């Protein structure tokens, strides 16, 4: 089956659970289309605002929606693990290892 490799990578054992996870990703993507504009308006972000402002806000909204839909679908643990992994990756990007290595050797 073509999805077996993805199921194995995600640590998902059943087809039902795999389908639920895919539905959660789909619902999160669709939901952001509906909630993005009101949230942008609430935050004072206009159509003319820079993508450097809009994209991070959109990503944050998506992550919140992903956790909300994941919780509703009973897959909180799966999505929480993905969020933690994403957070660690972002922290690695924001704290260059060259600085920590040079300060550790002094």
Assigned domain for 43 exists: yes
Between CA 7 and CA 14 the distance in angstroms is 8
104 found inside a domain: no
Residue 85 confidence (pLDDT): 87
Does residue 87 fall inside a structural domain? no
Note the pTM of the prediction, 2 decimals: 0.78
Q: Give the pLDDT confidence of 13-25 residue by residue, as tens digits.
A: 999 999 999 999 9
pLDDT tens readout for residues 52-105: 999 999 999 999 999 999 999 999 999 999 888 888 887 887 876 645 554 455
Three-state secondary-structure class, residue 83: helix
Question: Residue 46 sits in which domain range?
Answer: 4-79
Q: Mapping DSSP to helix (H, G, I), strand (E, B) and coil, where does residue 42 land?
A: helix
Kindly state the tokens that stand for 42. Answer: 């609430």
2 within 8 A of 28, measured Cβ to Cβ? no
Domain-located, residue 42: yes
Structural domain count of the chain: 1
Q: Is residue 75 part of a domain?
A: yes
Q: Is residue 90 part of a domain?
A: no
């Amino acid at each position: 089956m073509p999805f077996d490799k993805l199921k194995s990578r995600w640590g998902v054992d059943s087809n039902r659970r795999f389908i639920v996870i895919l539905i959660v990703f789909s619902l999160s993507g669709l939901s952001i289309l509906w909630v993005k504009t009101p949230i942008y308006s609430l935050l004072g972000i206009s159509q003319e605002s820079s993508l450097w402002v809009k994209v991070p806000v959109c990503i944050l909204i998506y992550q919140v929606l992903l956790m909300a839909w994941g919780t509703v679908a009973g897959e909180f643990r799966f999505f929480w693990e993905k969020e933690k992994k994403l957070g660690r990756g972002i922290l690695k990007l924001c704290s260059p290892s060259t600085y920590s290595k040079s300060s550790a050797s002094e």
